[in-house]
Structure 1
């Protein structure tokens, strides 16, 4: 379904005008859906569903096409968010876009953010909101949709929509941002790696935020671990692996490339840091996804 739409269909009478009108709205609708779902593939599916519903409407039945399409896409996104199961490991197609650069290179400008300028950190924060809070915040604060329309989409009153957006806004603003000094960020990551190599549980707890979240993308699916004790325990289990790490910038944030001693890339990991502690970890060790990143071949490391 992804990527299909009016542009893929044969021309026909009024359908041509409808398709043109829809294409004029596509970029905006996709931006809304990306911010709602955090996944371009899911966003394109939501927009495609909106086109399918639009194509079934009678000619002249829709007065305000932009408002109608925004409503449809928003409700589709709400349904998709609500249907996502809370499961420690599940199949995924929503791996965020990732830009990997050498640690001593300049941070990429456009590559340091996700598609449509959605920062990885913001998506992580939005992921903590309820579907209704997320929709109210995204539509009103990011796309200036009036609260009356937001309320109609949610099936709630205007005041209820305002309360949802206000609650979401407090959560977003209450989330500490990353430290400004890249050297301090790198020092935190280095301390984490040193504690991991030593298997020092207490040192890991000191460098991890109490509510840290680790999202790991493997060939089996997405695994999410929350809380410093759980993350530290998982890190300790991997201590015996014969791997080495190289500093890197992942979406402009400090991270590492993990490789075996022959130089084969086994994974990448990025860290979000606030107040001297790691608050978010994103790791990818799925061979297929790593291949999509197009990482350069690394030279084998010499034994010390």
Structure 2
């Protein structure tokens, strides 16, 4: 192509790539909103370029989005005072049928609480190398161009990141233990057993509840147990589910409409974090919840 490419042609070519770019950025940043911002920045940069001079538009856009994501990750670490507590990760709800999470392609491809914890332990360059290569099969030569390293150095970054992630992998027996802890919590909550709740809650447990009124945060086992011991007052159908591979529960009303989802993070035999969503708008965005039967 020679000369400037018509705006509508550039826009159409960009839209063809948008879905893939958002997926890359989501897995890098752990937030759909942040991913959309990164992709929008790529569009603004493309608009300032002579698109006809770009030989490989898909590669160029991947490079730009990757660099924008790295900048955003570095900015987060440089401003630790910035709060991300109200950021709700993308949630994928599936049936709890005792399968290992890694056996489920949907879970393996999602970005959720567990994966975000692992990825947050990585440096931005490690994170990008792992995500682009292992999730999107981007060659190390291309990754090297994005992060300003050689192909061999990029391969080493991905290998190091992979080892870090694998070190956090929890075996089947530990997953069963986590389920047992959550079951004990739910049983104590149903019966209003305050002492039973304290036994399975970490003293510094944090409960982040995304409600229609906004984010409500409770910290400390006493406060969490006090709220949980009241049990479920409404007429809801509650069943165990997996939320991004972690133990959780979902609730439906008598008409079969989803009313809530909750997931738990268990460390050392105690619950250290609870995440719940009852806000209807946020619930509507939870992947898989609407497709599960309420019974």
Instruction: Give the structure-2-normalised TM-score.
Output: 0.67
**Cα distance, 1:37 vs structure 2:** 1.8
1:193 aligns with 186
Provide the secondary structure at the position in 1 that maps to 2:67: helix
CA–CA separation in structure 2 for the residues paired with 1:231 and 1:130: 30
Taking the TM superposition and a 5 Å limit, the aligned residue runs for 1:161-240 are 161-177=154-170, 179=172, 186-194=179-187, 197-200=192-195, 203-205=199-201, 216-218=209-211, 232-239=221-228
Task: Tell me if structure 2 keeps the 8 A contact 1:250–1:269.
Answer: no
Q: Among residues 8, 11, 14, which one is paired with 1:22 in the alignment?
A: 14
Task: Tell me if structure 1 keeps the 8 A contact 2:5–2:50.
Answer: no
**Cα distance, 1:183 vs structure 2:** 7.5
Give CA deviations for 1:214-253 in whole Å, capped at 9, x if unaligned.
654345766789xxxx663552342454645833324465
Task: Tell me if structure 2 keeps the 8 A contact 1:267–1:284.
Answer: yes
Taking the TM superposition and a 5 Å limit, the aligned residue runs for 1:1-304 are 14-84=6-76, 87=82, 90-92=85-87, 94-99=88-93, 113=106, 117-118=109-110, 120=112, 121-156=114-149, 158=151, 160-177=153-170, 179=172, 186-194=179-187, 197-200=192-195, 203-205=199-201, 216-218=209-211, 232-239=221-228, 241=230, 243-244=232-233, 246-251=238-243, 253-257=246-250, 267-271=260-264, 281-286=274-279, 288-290=281-283
Provide the secondary structure at the position in 2 that maps to 1:129: coil
Which range moved further: 136-145 or 264-273? 264-273
Q: CA RMSD in A?
A: 4.7
* Unmatched tracts of structure 1, length 5 or more: 1-11, 299-304
Alignment: residue pair count: 276
Provide the secondary structure at the position in 2 that maps to 1:45: helix
CA shift in 2, pair 1:68/1:284, >3 Å:
same
CA–CA separation in structure 2 for the residues paired with 1:82 and 1:68: 21
**Cα distance, 1:135 vs structure 2:** 1.1
**Cα distance, 1:73 vs structure 2:** 0.6
**Cα distance, 1:187 vs structure 2:** 3.2
* Unmatched tracts of structure 2, length 5 or more: none
